[in-house]
Amino acid sequence: MENQTFDVAIIGGGIVGAATFYKLQKRNPELNIILIEKEKQFADHQTGNNSGVIHSGLYYKPGSLKAENCVKGRHELVEFAKANKVPHDVCGKVVVATKKDELPYLDKIFNIGLENKIEGIEKIDANQIKEHEPFVEGVAGILVPCTGIIDYRDATEKMIANALGINTNSKTILGEEIVDIESNDSYSTVIGATQKFKAKHLIFCAGLQADRLARKDGLDLKEQVVGFRGDYYELTDQAKHKVKNLIYPVPNPDFPFLGVHFTRMTNGHIECGPNAVFTFKREGYGKLDFDLKDTYDALTYAGTWKLFFKNMKFGIDEYRRAFSKKLFLKTLQGLIPSLTMEDLKPGGSGVRALLLGQDGDTRDDFRIEYHNHSIHVLNAPSPAATASLAIGGQIAEKAEKHFFSK
């Protein structure tokens, strides 16, 4: 394909890259687009290793890109799933306060939900919690009926299939890691490990490698991506009846994650987790996985240490829990006290990409930037999978404005 010049090359075959491919192709059927993924299958990192939740938009700052795209994207995703037979279920969830001192935070979340126009949410008391989740013990909660579950791998593949069905000249490439980028006034050459690809414009949806590829493309990026692994347990068959749908705690306002929760997956498994620990390999899913470059980059970056010091107690607790089933169980028992060690078996894991500032603060909102002939998705943490079609639509609009309006 070295002699062929595509109109757009999209780098990254997770759900955001797939949604961008689909939305851009749908709006511009004449464009010849290539989607390049370094793994041997699509959705192999953050997309395929998350908890499979269709988020409502309950937690996100009103007016933020997260809030707006999550709500819009959720509606689009459910409609897409229905039309394309993607396994999903809008089953609802409960957010549970287990102690009275969590009630002010529960109220705050509820009010954010109202501002974000999350349909159908309601406050529920301890008895009503048990009507929805009989084994949960809590003092109050929020019922969120529009939350759901979905197979994100299948959704990703069907977005790509839809795009390829629009223009047979568009292509996908698997197993090709991008190692460099060369650009001139007319086009860019994307240099892979074994092939080169020419394109007039580039869109980067690279997730855990977003910062590295942005710098290869000449973007002066001050922040750095740091990976955090989340480990899951699953409920054994004897304990699955203790969870009907989705059960979330009230998130700790001082910690940048939602906390350990229960999720009924589309395959019927019940996941418990995740925790959140610094990973020594950006794409490492084992507890002892290590990559020298990833570790060096993270531990020589001042922002990493500032984040550690700001969250020292939480970080230590998360690491202890990562290596202790007993401690993990104790956390889960905060919501379901009747769980025992025999109710848990090891599950999978995922790695989240956090764009971290030099001051140690995580860049919370989505971030998409235009640079020369390129668009970069620099930060797309949860709920990016839920919001993917809305994000893809925004990127398509940005591409039309910057790439094709002249």
Alpha carbon 245 to chain centroid, angstroms:
20
* pLDDT for the residue 2: 60
Domain ranges for the chain: 5-47+153-222+364-402, 224-239+275-362
Share of the chain above pLDDT 90, in %: 85
pLDDT tier at 260, thresholds 50, 70, 90: confident
Per residue in 68-119, pLDDT (tens digit) is 999 999 999 999 999 999 999 999 999 999 999 999 999 999 999 999 999 9
Q: Name residues whose C-beta falls within 8 Å of residue 296's C-beta, 6 or more positions apart in sequence.
A: none
State the average pLDDT over residues 333-341.
Answer: 97
Is residue 257 scored above 80 in pLDDT? no
Is residue 406 scored above 60 in pLDDT? no
Is residue 256 scored above 60 in pLDDT? no
* pLDDT for the residue 159: 98
Does the predicted TM-score (pTM) go above 0.85? yes
Average the pLDDT over each of 185-189, 278-282, 300-304, 339-343 and give the range with the smallest value. 185-189
Average the pLDDT over each of 8-12, 150-154, 216-220 and give the range with the smallest value. 216-220
Superfamily of domain 5-47+153-222+364-402: FAD/NAD(P)-binding domain (3.50.50.60)
Average the pLDDT over each of 171-175, 267-271, 275-279 and give the range with the smallest value. 275-279
State the average pLDDT over residues 341-357.
Answer: 94
Is residue 227 scored above 70 in pLDDT? yes
